[in-house]
Amino acid sequence: MAEDTIDNSLLSNLHRHNPWWRNGVSALDELDIPAQKKSDFYRFASPYKSEPEPDKYDVYALVGQRGVGKTVLINQFIRQRIKADEIPPQNVLYIPFDENPLYQLQSNDQLRRAVNYYEGRILSQVFENEAPQYIILDDVHRIEHPNKSLEGWGKEVKSLLEGAEDRHVILTASAELQIERELKRVGFDADRYSVWPIFPEKFRDHIQSVFPELEEDERRLSPSPIRQGETGLPNACRTNDPTQFFETLRELYDSVEIDASRIRSQVVHYLALGGVLSYEAEGIDSASNLSEDAYKHRREDVRLSLYQEIPGLDAVKNIADLERLCALVAADLETPFRYNRLSELFDVDRRTLRESYFEALSKLFLLTPSPEYDNSRPRSIRLYLRDTALVNAYTGHTPSEVLNDYQLESKLAHVAAFDHSMRLSFNMNFSAGYEFNDYDPPAEPTVEYWPGTEGEVDFVFECAGVPVPIGLGYRAGSMEPTTNAVAEFIETYEAPLGVVVAGDTATLPEPVEVLEETPIVRIPYWFYLMLT
């Protein structure tokens, strides 16, 4: 009896997980799927467009922390493909392995039975079927062989593609390593799959959700002009001439100036909501509408992720230390952490901190280290949580406190600016790889800091191999030291340009202003977030 329960657990629920088989588009309309698509959707869906590279990858994986919206992106993808009549409803098989723990027992056998049923009973209903097929395995990392030294899900995924023309497998997991390690283990060619990280919702996606009309063509702020071509940042770095880049920033600002006050008013609400809660609470324009338990649930989700995922990723002796490290970072957002002090607190050496603690949290997209620029033996390091709601959760603040405490707001603004600078670093270098044949973008984006004699440059990333300093002057009175620090960096490293990001309290003659006799442009904080 117990064996029958396991054997049939997935198979008996297959139609419930794939309601479009029976009801087609109407079933998709009944699902609670957000209509608004975050920007990650277009990057996810682009390899499966009919032009110019149809169905580029055999396997495509979305990875990211719990609650970040991977399953929503999957459902939006299914809806788009079926609703646009690009594929019959029967050409999608969706299996959520985290839906029921029984699906994870003898999972390879259950998966094979489910696919056999799908091919024999569902896919066979469509005659002269030349459209692509998609087998979607949500939370595939939940599949484990009882003996972890034996084969996992990789062999089964590989077999699903053998001899099946125009079939593609889409996976979701928590970390990139969970996907790549298994596919490499079964000898899957690297050019046949792509892994795309999904991060908490960025500010621009929040604005899109609150003010969807701002995404209409004539009102939409597109960062493309500063990424590519003669007007882009990569070209400015390569040519050592930022003139056209600065002019493009002015033009982009002018295109949204009429809506500037509306966008700016949402900054503090975004800082209180954070990327995950902002995504879950689609359309909420005030963080005061958050439930009292929202931060608590956010923290519990992270704790669950740590204990579920870390054992399969890294040999971290004390997983509780990772949560303690997150809490420590949330409590002190302003100063770099000295390695010696961290070693004393956690009773581990510097190498363990860097290669185990920081690395494990980075793999789960929870925390990212920011090392000191141009220093091979730094004594200190900056650490950033990647979601402001997580900061609020660990510090015990309520949404109303965030909305009414300017000092706290300015600290959270620093965290959000780092997260968006990481995105900017990736996008600019990704674009530079297309712009210049002799440039190989880094595999991972990095954002560092620089402690100059005039003050600290908050963020430094390299674009097309050239350093770009970005200073944040969010608090009142911080503009001059921030500008001086950026100017010192430019002089020290002969950088072609620098950016100073100004908070709302700064009095600016012009919203986008190039400072006299310097290659430094000063822009508003909300505008900087919108550009990433």
Query: Quick one: 2-197 is in which CATH superfamily?
Result: P-loop containing nucleotide triphosphate hydrolases (3.40.50.300)
Domain boundaries, the chain: 2-197, 203-291+400-530, 294-368+380-397
Residue with tokens 């700064």: 506
Q: Give me 1's structure tokens.
A: 């009896």
CA distance 457 to 481: 10
Coil, helix or strand at residue 297: helix
Element (H, E) at 8: helix 2-9
- Exposure pattern of 223-260 as b/e (b: 16+ CB <10 Å)? bebbbbeebbbbbbbbeeebebbbebbbebbeebeeee
With beta carbons less than 8 A apart as the criterion, state whether 395 and 307 touch.
Answer: no
Q: Give me 27's structure tokens.
A: 């079933």
CA distance 482 to 487: 9
pLDDT 10s digits, 198-225 = 999 999 999 988 898 988 877 788 899 9
Name which of 216, 245, 242 is nearest 228 in CA terms. 245
The per-residue pLDDT for 31 is: 74
* Single-letter amino acid code for the residue at 436: F
CA atoms within 13 A on the CB side of 51: 0
The per-residue pLDDT for 273 is: 92
Coil, helix or strand at residue 449: strand
Torsion (CA) 243, 246, 248, 249 in degrees, nearest 10: 180
DSSP for 73-84, written as a single string: HHHHHHHHHHHT
CA distance 22 to 309: 36
Strands (E), 184-336: 193-197
CA distance 509 to 137: 54
Strands (E), 97-218: 133-138, 167-173, 193-197
Q: Give me 325's structure tokens.
A: 């490290």
> Residue 338: beta bridge partners?
380
pLDDT 10s digits, 390-430 = 999 999 988 888 899 999 999 999 999 999 999 999 999 99
DSSP for 183-206, written as a single string: HHHTT--GGGEEEEE-PSPPHHHH
Average pLDDT for runs of 10 along the chain of length 532: 67 94 80 76 70 67 91 89 86 94 85 92 89 94 61 84 89 93 90 91 91 83 93 97 97 95 94 86 75 89 91 84 96 94 95 94 96 94 96 91 92 97 95 91 93 96 96 91 97 98 84 94 97 92
> Residue 351: beta bridge partners?
none
CA distance 395 to 248: 40
Residue with tokens 């609703």: 83
The per-residue pLDDT for 15 is: 94
Name which of 377, 385, 368, 381 is nearest 339 in CA terms. 381
pTM: 0.92
